[in-house]
Amino acid sequence: MRMSDAERELEGYSGMRVHRSHWVALLAVKGRTRQGNKWTAPLVNDIEVPVSRSQAQKLRVALEGYQDVRGAFE
């Protein structure tokens, strides 16, 4: 399946594509980290997902609304 097809299947879920081959559920993302010019999104299961530079700012904005909600699941 192409990633663009998978994204269409995921419409309506609270998540986003953060890299060309990575889509994440926003409730699973703990934040975003940067080392040099490389961004990653640490997930609640301790996996580090790469984040493209073009998506890093979009991820920050998307996560703003999830900070309060996420606490209920921890």
User: CATH number of the domain that 10 lies in?
Assistant: 2.40.50
Q: Which domain holds residue 36?
A: 3-73
| Strand intervals (E) in the chain | 15-19, 22-25, 33-35, 38-42, 48-51
> Does 73 score more than 60 pLDDT?
no
Partner residues linked to 43 by β-bridges: 29
pLDDT at position 70, please?
Answer: 55
Inter-residue contact 42 to 73 (CB < 8 Å): no
pLDDT at position 69, please?
Answer: 55
Average pLDDT over residues 25-44: 91
pLDDT band at 72 (very low <50, low <70, confident <90, very high): very low
pLDDT at position 51, please?
Answer: 96
> Does 29 score more than 50 pLDDT?
yes
Number of independent structural domains in the chain:
1
What distance in Å separates the CA atoms of residue 10 and residue 25, rounded to the nearest whole number?
10
